[in-house]
Amino acid sequence: MEVYFDNSATTRCYESVAKLVVQLMTQDYGNPSSMHTKGFEAEKYIREAREIISKNLKVNEKEIFFTSGGTESNNLAIIGTAMANQRSGKHLITTSIEHPSVLNAMKYLEEQGFEVTYLPVDEKGVLKLEDLKDALRKDTILVSIMHVNNEIGSLQPIEQAAKIVKENNSKTLIHVDAIQSFGKFRILPTKLKIDLLSISGHKIHGPKGIGVLYVHAKVKIRPINFGGEQQKGIRSGTENVPGIAGLGVAIKEVYTDFEEKQKKIYEIKQSFIKQIKEIEGIVINGAEEAGAPHIVSVSFEGVRSEVLLHALEEKNIYVSAGSACASNKPAISSTLKGINVKKELLDATIRFSFSFDTTFEEIDYCIQSLKEILPRLRKYTRH
Amino acid sequence: MFKAFLIKYGEIGIKGKNRHLFENALVRQIKYALKSVDGEFEVTKEQGRIYIEVLSEYDYDEVIESLQRVFGIVGICPVVHVEDKGFDELAKDVVAYLDLVHPDKKKTFKVNTRRAKKSYPMSSMEVSAGLGGKILEAFEEMKVDVHTPDILLNIEIRNKIYIYSKTIPGPGGMPVGTNGKAMLLLSGGIDSPVAGYMIAKRGVKIDATYFHAPPYTSERAKQKVIDLAKKVARFTGPIYLNVVNFTDIQLYIYENCPHDELTIIMRRYMMKIAEHFAKESGSLGLVTGESIGQVASQTMQSLAATNEVCSMPVYRPLIGFDKQEIIDVSNKIDTFETSILPYEDCCTIFVAKHPVTKPNINVIKRSERKLEQNIEDMLRIAIESTEKIVVTAD
């Protein structure tokens, strides 16, 4: 049995998506900017995808911008609005457990003379709203909060946060990194009073190299790349038509029978948590029951995560140590530090992330394998 | 502009009756190095020199770079060809050559002529003197210095006339394969690839053995070692790499022996396995990247303890090097960046906080007695299940 529990790193592309992508690469390969029929056809695919996305988010089609993925969406949202709104102030707020594509964009802005407040989180990885209230200033132009944390799956109270921010100053913008949550929840930016929302294709069984940034029509934003003025000049560059069309299909598929899927994946997670608690010497990080339906972060006492990861791999079970996006280098995760994981467990943490396709058999097999592997690994530890 | 290269080789020129063996090996290595370079080349050996004639378009930098990886080459002289159209034409060509190749004229020079084509109407001395005069006429700032000239302008009169004055340093050493073969214990670290390079520089062909310990070490760690071998293979030619699964042996030692002796005992078994492969492939020695005192397992006592299991000589070309010196070579041969990729290797996974630094061989042997029951079988299984990979430079 092959068990892929690394769906927060990336997901398997739907067959229907892959088929359409190939078709758009080999047959309908026109450039949407071309004036002939082939260009027009390509443009139609973009229109269709844009319609699917805007209907899903219940926003205007003009508010959808296609990017190269989650990182670019986050970069564009943060740097693009900071640069465009700096006359109103140079203060930004975010949390200490954001993805590096947010944290490093913030760091860049600090070098450019902006001031950034990084809000702490509690031991469950959740932002305290009073902290947000206290941090807001007259010159705060942007608050960027991730919806679901990529390493521990904690869920941020974005609706209440947005409310607090807008009550303080209706002009302050709110950006939500929804890369881990889109496809797992229904997200309606207008209702939530969110001004900018980042989405990534390959986290929801779509292609890699495609992302979306929703930008509310009234938001002032400046481009961060320059070229042929495609997408109203906000995001120049020939549109990634296969990626865009593929993303459209993926969104359609994900949100078909959605409530049913959502219920099942919660059950999957509960089954996993229930069973893993039977194992001695483990700590579940972040909120157990609350939180995202697809991510469970577990620390294993006396085992190094890298070794456990490879031992699981020998059983055809694929997981991440910490967060895959940051774990090419075994640097200690800022999220795990942010929620005060014990020092000796920082290097002993595995992330299991499920998808709608995950089965209960896979969960059982994984638990069984852990029960088999752990005593062996714990017998031989470094002194 | 340059249509040929004259290859200078120092040391191998003095090898007496074996000289032709060394020269043939060098020609072979040059041909091998040029195989991966775009263009057509002819390598010939005559009168104690090696010429590379270029028969097609080629990239100069690419040729020089690949020749600089051929051990045995001391210098590479890029050569300009001109047709023999009489002395006056030659003088014009030589002046034009100097102007192009040596833009800074505040230099002393000497002309050195060799006349391979004896039918040429002037003697070597006459050609040198004549050209010297023309050069002085053309460039006022230049001066003659026959003892220590800045520019030694060489003229070789053959069917065509060869002009050269620049010598680009080669890597030195001796052609790979002229000094037998050795087995390198290759890890993912900084030192062992450098040790392999140093031994190969002395003309030794190398094979390699790598120990991995899944799941404690990853596929990426193994790929890293293959990548390092690839880099070294640019100097040494193809490397036969043995990948030994060492996990069970390592855990068995861990279970039965004192943990502070773990590394020493482990290394003793690694040496044994490597020696087995060395004998199998006709190697004459083992090579390691050890340097005295660098870590606990590389003190004089530790080295003696690991050495004791081998009947073959163990060569340690880095023995007197400081870390920085090793890093310098590692940068030179472009293995450093790969070496520092942060994947765990099997030497560090169970390392004790305070490993013995002065192991007593008798104590170690007593500990090893606790392994008697299974170790021979385990060694045999490790050897039999070893994966063999041929690693070539891209």
pLDDT of residue B357: 87
| pLDDT at B364 exceeding the cut of 60 | yes
| pLDDT at A126 exceeding the cut of 70 | yes
Residue B217 with chain A: CB contacts under 8 Å: 310
Question: Both B187 and B134 in a single domain?
Answer: no
Q: Could you write out the DSSP letters of every residue in B340-381?
A: TS----TTTTT--SS--SS--HHHHHHHHHTTHHHHHHHHHH
Q: Could you write out the DSSP letters of every residue in A107-129?
A: HHHHHTT-EEEEE-B-TTS-B-H
Using alpha carbons, select from A302, A328, A314, A379 the residue that is nearest to residue B213.
Answer: A314
Residues B134-174: pLDDT tens digits? 999 999 999 999 999 999 999 999 888 999 999 999 999 99
Architecture of the domain delimited by A3-11+257-379: Alpha-Beta Complex (3.90)
The enclosing domain of B135 has a CATH number of 3.30.2130.30
Task: Please state the separation of Cα A231 from the chain's center in Å.
Answer: 23
For a pLDDT cut of 90, what percent of chain B falls above it?
75
- Domain extents in chain A: 3-11+257-379, 15-254
Q: Which amino acid is at A361?
A: E
Question: Both B75 and B146 in a single domain?
Answer: yes
Q: Could you write out the DSSP letters of every residue in B95-146?
A: HHHHHHH------EEEEEEEESSTTSSS-HHHHHHHHHHHHHHH-TT-EE-S
Tell me the nearest-neighbour CA distance from A24 into chain B, angstroms: 34
Q: Is residue B208 part of a domain?
A: yes
Residue A309 with chain B: CB contacts under 8 Å: 215
Which of residues B202 and B347 earns the better pLDDT score? Answer: B202
The residue from B134, B169, B204 where one domain ends is B169
Q: What are phi and psi of A45, to 5 degrees?
A: -60, -40
Determine whether A325 is an active site residue. Answer: yes
Question: Both B322 and B291 in a single domain?
Answer: yes
The enclosing domain of B283 has a CATH number of 3.40.50.620
B245 interfacial to chain A (CB closer than 8 Å): no
* ipTM confidence: 0.77
Is A310 close to B349, i.e. CB distance below 8 A? Answer: no
Q: What are phi and psi of B42, to 5 degrees?
A: -125, 125
Q: Is residue B274 part of a domain?
A: yes
Best mutation target among A303, A305, A308, A310 (most B Cβ atoms within 10 Å) is A310
| pLDDT at A78 exceeding the cut of 80 | yes
Q: Select the residue of B215, B217, B349 nearest A314 (Cβ to Cβ).
A: B215
Question: Both B247 and B129 in a single domain?
Answer: no
Domain that holds residue B43: 4-169
Task: Say if residues A335 and A365 touch (Cβ distance below 8 Å).
Answer: no
Q: Which amino acid is at A119?
A: L
User: What is the C-alpha to C-alpha distance for residues B218 and A318, in angstroms, rounded to an integer?
Assistant: 13
Question: Both B38 and B94 in a single domain?
Answer: yes
Q: Hey, what are A222's tokens?
A: 């400046």
Question: Both B125 and B20 in a single domain?
Answer: yes
The residue from B137, B169, B201 where one domain ends is B169
| pLDDT at B72 exceeding the cut of 60 | yes
Question: Both B251 and B327 in a single domain?
Answer: yes
Question: Both B200 and B321 in a single domain?
Answer: yes
Q: Is residue B174 part of a domain?
A: no
Please identify, in words, the CATH class of the domain defined by A15-254. alpha beta
Question: Both B134 and B202 in a single domain?
Answer: no
B38-51 residues labelled b (16+ CB within 10 A) or e (exposed): eeebebeeeeebbb
B32 interfacial to chain A (CB closer than 8 Å): no
Which residue carries 């005069």 as its tokens?
Answer: B133
Q: Hey, what are A34's tokens?
A: 């071309």
Q: Is residue B175 part of a domain?
A: no
Instruction: Kindly state the average pLDDT of the residues B296-308.
Output: 90
Catalytic residue among A93, A165, A325, A336: A325
| Radius of gyration, alpha carbons of chain A | 21
pTM: 0.85
Q: Is residue B211 part of a domain?
A: yes
Q: Select the residue of A307, A380, A383 nearest B352 (Cβ to Cβ).
A: A383
| Domains in chain B, number | 2
Tell me the nearest-neighbour CA distance from B337 into chain A, angstroms: 14
